[in-house]
Amino acid sequence: MQVIKPFDPWKSPLCTCPPKYTLNPYTGCTHQCIYCYITSYIPHAFNCRPKEKLLEKIRKDIRKINKSLVVSMSNSSDPYPSIEKDLKLTRRILELFKRHDVRVLIITKSDLVVRDVDVLSSMRSSVSFTITTVNEEIAAMLEPYAPSPWKRIDAIRKLVEKGVKVSVRVDPIILYLNSNEKDIEDVISAVAEAGALHIVSSTFKPKFDSWRRFEKRFPAISRKLYKHYFKLGEKIGASRYLPSSVRKKLMEKVRKIAVKHGLTFATCREGFPELHLAPSCDGSHLVPT
C-alpha cells in the first residue's frame, strides 16, 4: 500500500495548497490538542502508534514519486510525537529522504525537531511550527501534551541558525480565546524575532467531536461562540465555520501584523486567496527547489 500519498484534504474547494504529497509516520498523535480534527476519522487517535513496516513501504514509494513536489510531514499527526524521541522513526525517514534528495516540509508542534537539524539542514527541507498562543496557561489547556510555545520559539531560533527556513501556522485562531490584536502580536513578534519568514493562519473549524472537547474545556467561551458557529455560521464539509465576514476580519488582522513584522502571509482553507502574500500558503515555497 502506498504511504506517500497525494495530498487531498477531503477535496476541499477552499484548499489552496500547491500539489504535494503527504506522509504520516504515526497513526494518531500524543499532543491531544482540544481542537484536533483527526479524532473525527482516526479511531483511538490519541493513542499514537508508529505505522508498520513504514520504511520498507517508503523505499518502494520513493521510486514512484515526482521529486519536484514536496512531501508534507505530517497532516494527520505530528511527525514528532513524544514517542519519536525513542523510536526515531521520523529521523530515519529524513535520512532516507536525504539520500534520495526528496523535498520535505515538516509540520510540528515539537521542539524535538531540533534533534534532527543535522539532517534537515543538509537536505531540501523547511519546517512549519504551529503556534496558537504564547500564553503558557492557555497553551496548556489547548494543547495539553505538546511542548510549550516558548520551547517551539526557541526551536525556531536554533533551526534558523543552522540555515533551515521556518514558517509558522497561527492556527487555529479561536474567537474570544486567542483572537485579539495583542494575542496575535505576541505570537508573531516572537516568531519574527526568532527568524521565521512566513505566517499561515486559519480560524477554528470545529467538527462534532472537537466541538464537544472544546465545550468541556472552555465552557464560558463555547457559550459565546455557539451562535457564531451554529446559527450565523456555515457548515462546509463536516466542519462548522464562522460567518465569512468574521473570518475575513480575523485573517486581515493576522495579515496586518505579519506584514508589520516583515513576514509573508497566507490563509488555510478560508476562501480568501486575495489576502495571500506568498508563493504558497503552507510554506512549501521555503523548501529549496
Q: Which residues bind ligand SF4 (CB under 6 A)?
A: 29, 31-33, 36, 38, 77-78, 109
Q: Which residue has the cell 497553551?
A: 139
CA gap 214, 37 in Å, rounded: 12
How far is C-alpha 4 from the chain's CA centre?
A: 18
Nearer to ligand SF4 (CB atom), residue 39 or residue 123 = 39
Nearer to ligand SF4 (CB atom), residue 32 or residue 135 = 32
Grid coordinates representing 227 are 451562535
Closest distance of CB 32 from ligand SF4, Å: 5
Closest distance of CB 163 from ligand SF4, Å: 25
Rg from Cα positions in the chain: 18
Nearer to ligand SF4 (CB atom), residue 104 or residue 146 = 146
Nearer to ligand SF4 (CB atom), residue 107 or residue 192 = 107
Residues 6+ apart with CB under 8 A from 156: 127, 129, 166, 168, 191, 194, 195, 196
3-state DSSP percent of the chain in helix, strand and coil, to 5? 40, 15, 45
Grid coordinates representing 128 are 512549519
Closest distance of CB 214 from ligand SF4, Å: 12
| Three-state DSSP state, 223 | helix
Cis peptide before 244 (omega within 30 of 0): no
CA gap 15, 8 in Å, rounded: 9
- β-pairing, 239-241 with 234-236? antiparallel
Closest distance of CB 47 from ligand SF4, Å: 12
Nearer to ligand SF4 (CB atom), residue 47 or residue 121 = 47
Closest distance of CB 17 from ligand SF4, Å: 16
Residue 207: phi and psi, rounded to 5, are -105, 175
Q: How many CB atoms lie within 10 A of CB 284?
A: 25
Closest distance of CB 196 from ligand SF4, Å: 18
- β-pairing, 49-50 with 26-27? antiparallel
Which residue type, as a one-letter code, is found at position 190? A
Closest distance of CB 36 from ligand SF4, Å: 3
Nearer to ligand SF4 (CB atom), residue 203 or residue 248 = 203
Closest distance of CB 228 from ligand SF4, Å: 21
Nearer to ligand SF4 (CB atom), residue 28 or residue 65 = 28
Nearer to ligand SF4 (CB atom), residue 76 or residue 222 = 76
Grid coordinates representing 265 are 502571509
